[in-house]
Amino acid sequence: MQIIPAIDIMDSQLVRLTKGDPSTKESYQTSNPAEAAKEWSQSGAEMIHIIDLDAALSKAPNTEMILGIAEEIDTPIQVGGGIRSIETAEKLLDGGVERIILGSLPIKEPETARKILDKYGSDRVIIALDHKNGSLMVQGWQQSTERRLGESLEVFTGQGYEWFLVTGINQDGTLDGPDCKTYTKISGSGRIIASGGVGSINDILKLKKTGVEAAVIGKALYLNQFSLEEAMEAAKC
């Protein structure tokens, strides 16, 4: 299982939220996203996860900063947040970003999302399935939908998507442990990247048993619950 350190950007700073709520914004000692990316790269990260919270909440995006990070480090990055047009997707994928994460677009404009998939291939497009109490949330987790997680996985795999970032919103940023029951249930339905709730090395060991391909970890790393090296070692066990 791959460990992917997370960088959430808001107002050009590195922040973390709890359960996706902007009012819970916390800044860290290392508030510069580019510096954080360099640190994770130097620590051996195989992929870095960057979310543009401003873009996700329909504010001015941090695209240029993100492209600058992609240029500065050797580690590949996957980027999400507010990618709601072909133009934005192209700018990122042609500008050095390895993979993009699409959330609202495949649900609201499936044909547009399919054009991106057809152009760049399933290895470079991740579908974000952010769920709360079983229902998918879109628009920066601000809007609920009637779609369920399981049926959405079935629909999107049928359309040719392979990678899915599945976030338990109720667990996100809490350090209370991931939703392993859900991940065990869906791990055979695509290439699953788990996100939300990891707070200890034991959580990583539990996640590994679910069969997911990767785990995105943010707050626990920044609060020094464990190091990236320790997390990666646990994921290999």
What is the arithmetic mean of pLDDT over 208-236? 97
- Residue 141: the pLDDT is 62
What percentage of the chain exceeds 70 in pLDDT?
97
DSSP string, the chain: -EEEEEEEEETTEEEEEETTEEEEEEE-SS--HHHHHHHHHHTT-S-EEEEEHHHHTTS---HHHHHHHHHH-SS-EEEESS--SHHHHHHHHTTT-SEEEESHHHHH-HHHHHHHHHHH-TTSEEEEEEEETTEEEETTTTEEEEEEHHHHHHHHHHTT--EEEEEETTTTTT-S---HHHHHHHTTSSEEEEES---SHHHHHHHHHHT-SEEEE-HHHHTTSS-HHHHHHHHH-
pLDDT digits (tens, 9 = 90+) for 140-198: 666 777 688 999 999 999 999 999 999 988 888 889 999 999 999 999 999 999 999 99
Residues designated as active site: 8, 130
- Residue 148: the pLDDT is 86
Ramachandran angles phi, psi of 45, nearest 5°: -60, 140
pLDDT digits (tens, 9 = 90+) for 9-38: 999 999 987 877 778 877 776 689 999 999
pLDDT digits (tens, 9 = 90+) for 83-108: 999 999 999 999 999 999 999 899 89
CATH, domain 2-236, list 1.20.1250.20, 3.40.50.10480, 3.10.560.10, 3.20.20.70: 3.20.20.70
| pTM (2 d.p.) | 0.94
What percentage of the chain exceeds 90 in pLDDT?
78
